[in-house]
A = this chain, B = another copy of it.
């Protein structure tokens, strides 16, 4: 049975996994989750993932949630996109946690508020506050990439795919590649990888469906 990824185009966390499956040459098919009409709050979806989030990966008898867990599974199963030593694997895990703790979590919220929430419902003050915190995160990432081609080791790993997840989207949320030259060059290296695709080309659903 083909591996199934529950996802929707706008989810950067799902994109990380879709990209890893693709770059690891694994067969997979997307299952569209209608997030914007509340599907992740439905009893059926909560039975699949009580945390109420995409991505969810179903691979035979194995059901996994949380992008960091799924990326680790893809890397272990395919033997690709991972580290070659215990130290490299811990370093990859370090970036995955940092991404979840400081980068993607705050971008996801900022991008949602700035693009997918009606302007009159946006809570005042939150977007600039999160953008300020994100600037500190972009600085950490850009500084590291000033001295490294990839986040860990000398080839692309799931660490890169986790951290880049939200940075390829077209909707504005305060991040501009031209402000961060080393992030920009790194995103260029990622998008030059054979098989790479943009989020809305890799997963079903995009903002024009709701226009």
Contact = CB atoms under 8 A, between A and B. Distances in A.
Contact of A126 (B51, B68, B69, B129): B129
B90 A73 contact: yes
Contact of A51 (B64, B98, B106, B129): B98
A140 B51 contact: yes
Q: Which secondary structure characterizes the binding site on chain A?
A: helix
A90 B105 contact: no
Interface residues of A, number: 35
B143 A50 contact: yes
Contacts of A98: 51, 66
A90 B65 CA distance: 9
Contact of A66 (B101, B106, B126): B101
B51 A68 contact: no
B123 A94 contact: no
Contacts of A93: 66, 68-69, 72
Interface in A131-180: 133, 136, 140, 143-144
Q: How many copies make up the complex?
A: 2
A100 interface: yes
A92 B102 CA distance: 20
A45 interface: no
Given A50-B140, A100-B100, 20 more contacts: A51-B98, A51-B102, A51-B140, A52-B136, A52-B140, A64-B90, A65-B94, A66-B93, A67-B97, A68-B93, A69-B93, A69-B94, A73-B90, A96-B97, A97-B97, A97-B100, A100-B101, A102-B105, A124-B124, A126-B126
B90 A69 contact: yes
A125 interface: yes
5 contacts: A51-B98, A69-B90, A69-B93, A96-B97, A100-B105
A90 B72 CA distance: 9
A69 B98 CA distance: 10
